[in-house]
Amino acid sequence: ELCALADGRDTDTGRDADVADAAPTDRLGELGDALLAAYQLAEQDGDPLTVALLEQALLRTGRRLARGMSPADVGIA
């Protein structure tokens, strides 16, 4: 499901109204925050498989965020 969200697919049709109203970049940003927290915990646990999986999920999420935001949106230009 995390990869589906990162790829922009909607897998949860029974979401709360608040989540449904959130902008896709907001949802991806929240997902990215959760993935970063999970990544840090996996590193602390020394679990290389989970770390590798989370790295891929973070990469996909970052790509989706980058596609949805202009350089000005992130303060680059």
Digit-coded pLDDT (tens) for 17-31: 555 556 776 787 788
Look at residue 51 and tell me if it is in a domain. yes
Domain ranges, residue 44:
2-68
Look at residue 76 and tell me if it is in a domain. no
Distance CA 59, CA 75 (A): 20
Look at residue 45 and tell me if it is in a domain. yes
Look at residue 73 and tell me if it is in a domain. no
Look at residue 31 and tell me if it is in a domain. yes
Q: Is the pLDDT of residue 77 over 80?
A: no
Q: Please report which confidence band the pLDDT of residue 66 belongs to, taking 50, 70 and 90 as the band edges.
A: confident
Structurally, the chain folds into a number of domains equal to 1
pLDDT of residue 53: 96
Look at residue 27 and tell me if it is in a domain. yes
Q: What's the pTM value of the predicted model, to 2 decimals?
A: 0.59
| 22 C-beta neighbours (distance < 10 Å), count | 15
pLDDT of residue 38: 95
Copy the structure tokens of residue 74: 């992130």
> Counting Cβ atoms within 10 Å, is residue 27 exposed (0-12), middle (13-18) or buried (19+)?
middle
Copy the structure tokens of residue 3: 């990869």
Of 54, 61, 1, nearest to 26 by C-alpha is 61
